[in-house]
Amino acid sequence: MNEPQPILVANFKAHKSWDEISAWIEQVAPKCNEFAGTVILCPSAPFLAAAHAKLQTLNSKLQLGAQDISKFEEGPYTGEISASQLKRICQYAIVGHSERRKYFAEGDGDVIQKVDLLLKNEITPILCVSDLKQLDSYVKEGKTIYDNAEKIIFVYEPPSAISKDRDYRPEDPQVADQNAAEISRIFNQNVVTLYGGSINPENIKAFLSKENIAGGLVGQACLDADTFLQLISKSA
């Protein structure tokens, strides 16, 4: 059996102008075409459409994801972006990131609604799990998540591991692996789980070599294209 290929997600958060994103894409896209795994770029929402057009022009394998999505369907929700609006622009969307929970008071119920809308619109949810207790409500209340676990990319990402001002503070890879295994156990099947939090070129191999970790969600270390290219090389 072939080994599953790694998935790398570049989460730009609220960083970069369009010119900077465009330059990053030009540098990183050619490498993605040689890479057997999947690379997903998540820029800020205003730049998704331009990034989509650029990737089509470049005929690139680099995929696009949104950093969040509205919990509502298309309608009178000022400032929101609905899953149906993004359907033709991106194939993935991050939901449940701990920064959304911390700064925007999102809870498990919001995350369940978002996952439901993404699945209806055939966008793959990249569902961050910052605490395994969240999975209890996904199992009990969120039939959507439990029943569709094989269509979701999970990310085990403890908030304590997220980098701060270039200070990397990763989880122990062994502990990350055990938690990723626990996610599969809870969903009663082998789900795809990434690890997130302070991934950098020095530590990525230690995470990707673990049996239950299918790839990485990268914040700080994706911003510089050269550093991100190193991450792709080390994942190959």
Nearest 10 degrees: Cα torsion 177, 186, 121, 214: 20
β-strands 63-66, 153-156: how paired? Answer: unpaired
11 binds ligand PGA (CB under 6 A): yes
* Closest CB 24 distance from ligand PGA, rounded Å: 16
When the beta carbons of 59 and 164 are compared against ligand PGA, the nearer one is 164
Nearest C-alpha neighbor of 11 from the set 63, 60, 66: 66
44 binds ligand PGA (CB under 6 A): no
Query: What's the one-letter identity of residue 219?
Result: G
* Closest CB 140 distance from ligand PGA, rounded Å: 26
65 binds ligand PGA (CB under 6 A): no
DSSP-based three-state secondary structure for 216: strand
Query: What stretches of 150-224 show up as alpha helix (H) in DSSP?
Result: 173-187, 204-208
97 labelled catalytic: yes
When the beta carbons of 32 and 217 are compared against ligand PGA, the nearer one is 217
- With tokens 């911390």, the residue in question is 102
Rounded distance between C-alpha atoms, residue 117 and residue 121, angstroms: 6
162 binds ligand PGA (CB under 6 A): yes
* Closest CB 143 distance from ligand PGA, rounded Å: 27
Give the one residue of 21, 217, 231, 232 binding ligand PGA; rule: CB under 6 A.
217
Of 33-41, 72-80, 102-110, 194-202, the window that binds ligand PGA (rule: CB under 6 A) is: 194-202
219 binds ligand PGA (CB under 6 A): yes
Backbone Cα Rg of the chain:
17
176 binds ligand PGA (CB under 6 A): no
198 binds ligand PGA (CB under 6 A): yes
Of 100-108, 182-190, 193-201, 228-236, the window that binds ligand PGA (rule: CB under 6 A) is: 193-201
211 labelled catalytic: no
197 binds ligand PGA (CB under 6 A): yes
Rounded distance between C-alpha atoms, residue 160 and residue 222, angstroms: 19
N-to-C CA span, the chain: 17
Q: Is 122 left (phi over 0), alpha (psi -120 to 50) or beta?
A: left
* Closest CB 56 distance from ligand PGA, rounded Å: 26
Catalytic residue among 3, 26, 74, 97: 97
Nearest C-alpha neighbor of 38 from the set 56, 20, 59, 60: 60
Active site amino acids: 97, 157
Contacts to ligand PGA by CB under 6 A = 11, 162-163, 196-199, 217-221
